[in-house]
Amino acid sequence: MTIQTVGIVGAGTMGNGIAQACAVSGIDVVMVDISDAAVQKGLATVAGSLDRLIKKEKLTEADKAAALARIKTSTRYDDLKSAQLVIEAATENFDLKVKILQQLDALLGQDVIVATNTSSISITQLAAVTQRADRFIGMHFFNPVPMMALVEIIVGLQTSEATHATVKALSERLGKSPITVKNAPGFVVNRILVPMINEAFFVLAEGLASAEDIDAGMKLGCNQPIGPLALADMIGLDVCLAVMEVYLKEFGDSKYRPCPLLKEMVAAGRLGRKTGRGVYSY
């Protein structure tokens, strides 16, 4: 199936980024959120991001106008009916996503594919609440969407090969490099990334090296653009801890034990950049 129009539920950080990636690639978009203010904010973010690309001479004014003209915004789910694929990018909350997916399921035509951008909820479990489990899939974009090349495509137990092929082709049309992953907690990238960050906290707690030297080691020795502790401050220490707790519970394997220092810092409210202090002070 060729996708001409993509529906997006949620105009936040990820939703508007996905809208921009689609529109710039010549795909029509219907972006829906719960309030006019939310969709207008999403659209303004896209316009600002396109302006930055013009400044960098990666885009022309005409490209910007054409991209914005492809994005229709709405607060009514009914307007998603014109889409061949709807990507759910609303707030990360299981009950909310179930409600949205069931609403979409009742509204959309039988052949429409529904994808979710969840970063932590089971694709298989979400598929099971719909009547289109074979046409349900994970499309895990990375932030900021217009810049990041990866889309992790997550196939649930029920996802059909046709659905996977369509979503892979669309990801490539967006200029992304997709990887295909089976459903499991953390998928692939976060499954490897967050335990690495947790290990950096163990190394720090054991006093083996300073935070600066741990980060310098991983940047200079592994070509990482940012050290794991500085990255933890960006992601939020509370988010890192919550992810480790999910892995520990879901896999039942003590190798996912959150570092006590990470827990201690979260308990102290040192959550990273967002609170002005984490491993480093801002």
Ligand X SMILES: NC(=O)c1ccc[n+]([C@@H]2O[C@H](COP(=O)([O-])OP(=O)(O)OC[C@H]3O[C@@H](n4cnc5c(N)ncnc54)[C@H](O)[C@@H]3O)[C@@H](O)[C@H]2O)c1
Q: Which of 229, 223, 168 is nearest to 196 (CA)?
A: 229
Give yes or no for residue 102 binding ligand X (CB under 6 A).
no
Stretch that binds ligand X, among 10-18, 55-63, 159-167, 220-228 (CB under 6 A): 10-18
Helix (H) or strand (E) run with residue 85 in it = strand 85-88
Residue with smaller CB distance to ligand X, 89 or 214: 89
Is 15 a residue that touches ligand X (CB under 6 A)? Answer: yes
Q: Which strands form 5-9's sheet, in the order they lie side by side?
A: 71-74, 28-32, 5-9, 85-88, 113-116, 136-141, 150-155, 177-182
Asked if 230 touches ligand X (CB under 6 A), the answer is no
When binding is defined by CB under 6 A, the residue of 5, 6, 10, 114 that contacts ligand X is 10
Tokens representing residue 244 in the block: 């480790």
Binding mask 19-48 for ligand X (x = CB under 6 A): -------------xxx---x----------
Own/partner long-range contacts of 257-260 (Cβ < 8 Å, ≥24 apart) = 258/198, 259/198, 259/199, 259/201, 259/202, 259/205, 260/205
Among 22, 30, 87, 100, binds ligand X (CB under 6 A): 100
Residue with tokens 């508007």: 16
Site string for ligand X, 141-180 (x = CB under 6 A): x-x-------------------------------------
Cis peptide before 144 (omega within 30 of 0): yes
Would you count residue 90 as binding ligand X (CB under 6 A)? yes
Which conformational region is residue 113 in: left (phi greater than 0), alpha (psi within -120 to 50 degrees), or beta? beta
Nearest distance in Å: CB 92, ligand X: 4
Interface positions with ligand X (CB under 6 A): 9-15, 32-34, 38, 89-92, 96, 100, 117-119, 140-141, 143
